[in-house]
Structure 1
Amino acid sequence: MTVTFARHGAPGPDAERFAERLGERLAKRIDDLEESADMIDFAFTTALLSLRARCVVDPRAAAVETWEAAVNAMQLGSALFAVTGASEGTVECRINRKLRTLPAIGPQSSADAGNWLTAFWLAVVCRDQQRMTQLCEVPLERLRSPEGQYDEYIYHWVDVLQTYWLRRPGLVDKLIAAIEASDPAVARVAPRDLLQGVLYPPINLFYHFVRKDEEGFSPALVEALKLHKAYWTLDEDRKADIDGSIALGPLAIACLAYDGEIPIEVESEYLPKHLLQRGWLGEFPT
């Protein structure tokens, strides 16, 4: 039996125009990258905002503009790690329907584990296996923040995902290490509510996915959405923040499960239907 889980909030009267303006601003920032890629992290942030704005007004991702926003975000996330992975020369990247030559900029603090996870989720949602592989080949040490802004668990988690996708040995032990390190009693940097409501649920979902737990996956997905909603409705500021419009980590794991033919017995605007069910795949080159 399919469970329907309601998303919080509703589009405001200016939501459509806001999404359009973001798309226009993003297109300009993407064009500017060919002159200098120093602001690629800013463009990536704008692309994420644009995707979420599109999902506010198009919660099923039924419009091609929403798919295009997802693809642009994925392309910029991957490009961020491409241009920071080289210190000289140029890098060829397809972004916003165009193959672009971007100048390499070398290591940057923005090319960290947090942005890596977001970029990887987007590649999973867009089913871009080549970009998933490229991201998984980024050395783990390159993702470490010198300022210590992340708990150690996040590096275990990245290692789990890279190990899974590249079929390296040791997946079970690494997953156990990630689960143990994400315990609120162990983690020291991430706020407890963020850890429990947003950061940990994808790890738990992945645990059910790799075990091919068909009976347990959908209940775990519902629980992830409950925690996501609880976090993003804790106060008025969070309720108004469009970052909560989709549950990107759970969506990505649900995409892996969907493609692995695990039944997804959950419907929610936090999991846009046509992104989950790859309805736009092949619409245009990614």
Structure 2
Amino acid sequence: MNADAAFDTPDAPDRDLPMLTAAQAAHLRELAAPYTDNSHTYSLQNLAHTCRRAPEDRWPELVETHFARLRAAGRGDESAAELLSGVHARLLPIDSITPDLVGAMRYARVVADGLVFAYALDQPTTVRILTDPDVERAGLEELGEAAYANLMRVPVEHEEVAIEGRALLHSVYGDSPFVASKALFLSELARQVTGEALPDAGALVAVPTRHLLAFHPIVDGSVAGAINDLAQYALGAYQDGPGALSPRVYWWHRGGLKSLTVIDTETNTFSLQPPPELLGILKGLVRLDRAGRLAGRTAAKEPDIGGLRDTAAEAIARIDQDPSGLGGAFTSTVQLAHAHCAADPDLSHVDSWDAWASAVQLGTALFTGAQPQECHLGGDLVRQLPAVPAEPPADARAWLDAFYVAVVCRQSARIDRLCQVPLAVLRQDDSIDEYVLHWIDTLQTYWAERPMDDVVEKLLATMTTSAPDAVTRAPKDFVNLIDYQPVALFHRLITRDHDAFAEALTEALAHHATYWGDSPAPRARVALGPLAMASLAYDHGLPVDMKQPYLPTYLLNRERIEEIPG
């Protein structure tokens, strides 16, 4: 049976009122006919949702009540003061704007696929959508200010719903038909209900009914799962009604809404298609989160050294059968190395050193290949790293981690090999901002001992492209407090300004503390980038205070450094 035939079946969903069967929709239209005339068209969407939830023998009563309210709301003789006291900004489904309303509401505008912005007057028994004469009577500017103020005073309930144990969905609901319209001003709503501003990347948001909206701030890699869960949530709530508004998922960004849902009207199917800008943000957050670089809202549990060691050992053991797992093994060992510094902040124990040495081995192997070698993970746990070819992945921040741990562990030969990795390969990483590549270029140029003018030129490019208005993918606080700090330190290092370097190092460590707070996440334990720059400074004879937080003393002063296999 083809799709058109399916719609013609009495028990199939109606084309225009899919919450009803075709037979039910025909019955509703028959009941509504006496209340309509050729001079005005009415949307039956909300009425259909109401009827769907009631026995059909009550439909005549519901239809009569519905149109009685419409007639009561249609006077349009309120004074300007009355309009200003009751007006609210309102989101309407685009299919509720009938042809005769289009001509009467020239002030209204489409704000996103499927959604129209309008003004509505809240009355004791009903809500009336304002027309152009109403707007002229009250004044467009005055009406806009009043509509915003009245909308933000509408009371709401707020709940946090955990998605798969990580992603947080904020559900905002209430009796008022204006609750979902607060999505127009989502940034202020988020402050009201969570006490926190939305991130620069914005939020995913759904407005399935006029009484409900749900949003998920785009702060970490959990957004990858949240986008699908929110889509299912939105569609389910939209179909349940009443007061259906939109089944779509939107991206709220910089004050605007953009639909991520694409609806194929021929097949009546839905798909999610984020625009390139959002897709880049999502990829960046997922990769940052997977490597443990982001400070989450909820503090993780204290690092379990034994569990992290077992994870790293299992990952290394699988490389022989699946070489693509080398990147995950490197990430695991970096986590293990950092986690050791919780109980051993100076890195005085051999087990702690073994974890750092293994991170060096795996990081170098990931980008430059390696011969077979043993990786000591602490205690008696040893895993054999098989021979791996030189197939550097397009993972720029993993390269930085590999470079940093090699510098900290004073592995000059390995650093030489890392700095020969073609920048063109790392440029294929579509999850990063441009400044990351400029920073890698700066480090490679410096380590190759090329003219200092070339180093400075590349450093300036790094600084320019890491400015807030140039960063589009990584969270701004991560860039400012974590990612940029090695750049600032390197600037002081190459000028050989001892006092300025010391001041910048103290500032970098303070920023590290601010970003991570009381999180026990492994990355919170060591300021890896600043540690690498401090190690370079120490080796160049700059005085560096050995007793500072987040800088393992016996790595910084080289007392713990031992030979690393391979």
TM over 0.5: yes
Aligned match of 2:403:
120
Cα displacement string for residues 161-189 of structure 1 (whole angstroms, at most 9, x for unaligned residues): 00000112311111111111111122222
Find runs of 4+ consecutive structure 1 residues off by over 3 angstroms: 97-101, 103-108, 283-286
Whole-Å separation in 2 of the counterparts to 1:209 and 1:93? 36
Question: In the alignment, which residue of structure 1 is the partner of 2:441?
Answer: 159
Please tell me whether the aligned partners of residues 35 and 103 of structure 1 are also in contact (alpha carbons under 8 angstroms): no
Query: Deviation per CA, 1:71-121, whole angstroms, max 9, x where unpaired?
Result: 1111111111124xxxxxxx415351577433438464xx42111101000
| Distance (Å, rounded) in 2 between the aligned partners of 1:266 and 1:107 | 35
Q: Which amino acid aligns with 1:47?
A: T
What are structure 2's unaligned runs of at least 5 residues?
A: 1-300, 377-382
1:144 aligns with 2:427: yes
Unaligned stretches of 5+ residues in structure 1 = 1-13, 84-90
1:26 corresponds to which residue? 312
Please show how residues 28-43 of structure 1 align to structure 2 within 5 Å.
28-43=314-329
Cα deviation, residue 278, structure 1: 1.1
How far apart are the structure 2 equivalents of 1:273 and 1:105?
33
Q: Provide Cα deviations, 1:119-167, integer angstroms capped at 9, x if missing partner.
A: 0000000100011010000010101235x32111111100000000011
**Distance in 2, Cα, partners of 1:93 & 1:280:** 24
Indicate the structure whose relative CO is greater, using CA pairs within 8 Å and at least 6 residues apart: 1
More helix by share: 1
Shift of 1:279: 1.2
Over the aligned positions, Cα root-mean-square deviation in angstroms equals 2.1
Q: CA deviation at 1:244?
A: 1.0
Counterpart position of 1:171: 455
Cα distance change, pair 107–258 in 1 and its aligned pair in 2 (3 A): closer
Deviations along 1:50-79, one digit per CA (max 9) or x if unpaired, are: 111111111110101111111111111111
TM-score, scaled relative to structure 2: 0.43
Which has more radius of gyration?
2
Partner of 1:92: 371
Letter in 2 for 1:179: M
Counterpart Cα distance in 1 of 2:391 and 2:438: 24
Query: Which stretch of the first structure deviates more once superposed, 267-276 or 132-141?
Result: 267-276
Overall identity of the aligned pairs, in %? 38
1:49 Cα offset (Å): 1.3
- Which of 125, 132, 137 pairs up with 2:415? 132
Normalised to the residue count of structure 1, the TM-score between the two structures is: 0.84
SS for the counterpart of 1:215 is: helix
SS of 1:138's partner is coil
Q: Deviations over 1:194-243 (max 9, x none)?
A: 0100011100000001111111111100000111111111xx7xx23222
Listed as ranges, the matches of 1:70-89 within 5 Å are 70-83=356-369
**2:547 touches 2:553 (CA, 8 Å); kept in 1?**
yes
For 1:15 and 1:196, how far apart are their aligned partners in 2? 26
Whether 1:60 aligns to 2:60 is no
* More deviation, 49-58/132-141: 49-58
Indicate the residue corresponding to 2:551 in structure 1: 271
SS in 2 for 1:96: strand
Question: Taking structure 1 as reference, are residues 34 and 209 closer, same or farther at Cα in structure 2, changes over 3 Å only?
Answer: same
Is 1:282 aligned to 2:562, yes or no? yes
